[in-house]
Amino acid sequence: MGMAVCFAAVGPDTLARLRAAPDDIKHYLHPDDGEGPPHETDVDKAWHGIHYLLTGTAREGREPFSWAIMGAEDIGPDLGMGPARLLTPEQVIRLAAALDSLTTDELSARFDPQAMQDKGIYPEGIWLRDRDDALQYLLENFALMADFYREAAARGDGVLLWTC
């Protein structure tokens, strides 16, 4: 299965409610009826590689790019691999604009399989073995994520991120 990162866009009213009652986040993300949040996506196992393309690091990085995968602030209880992370509507707008400023050529130029292997970028092993296919996988998931953030920004939503 592996580790993936999921995203849910959250309207300002819901965001305020979850900030006031962070223990409700788990139920919001995984309700009993099985329906999740209305605007949700994931980037599968590409999350760490995307973070690397955006920041050149395994964990850190310059804002707003570091927010795309790692979020800005922890919120709520441990969901199994740590708590959810939150971006405010203002941060989502700033991040969406920054992501839109990047081109496929720029991201491709940042792809360094050996450095990614050396830094332990998950999933380890594919960067050197699959090179072109691995890059394509990252670019496809980056585009999906950038579209998600763009749409969330247009609605004025915040975003919850979690390991799923």
Q: What token pair was written down for 114?
A: 């050996």
> What is the phi-psi region of residue 133: left when phi exceeds 0, alpha when psi lies from -120 to 50, beta otherwise?
alpha
Q: What token pair was written down for 45?
A: 């196992």
Name residues whose C-beta falls within 8 Å of residue 91's C-beta, 6 or more positions apart in sequence.
Answer: 64, 67, 72, 158
What's the domain range around 142?
Answer: 5-29+37-163
CATH value at residue 74: 3.40.1760.10
pLDDT tens-digit readout, 18-32: 999 999 999 898 887
pLDDT tens-digit readout, 124-138: 999 999 999 999 999
pLDDT tens-digit readout, 101-127: 999 999 999 999 999 999 999 999 999
> Structurally, how many domains does the chain consist of?
1
Report which DSSP code applies to 121. P
Name residues whose C-beta falls within 8 Å of residue 89's C-beta, 6 or more positions apart in sequence.
Answer: 12, 15, 153, 156, 157, 158
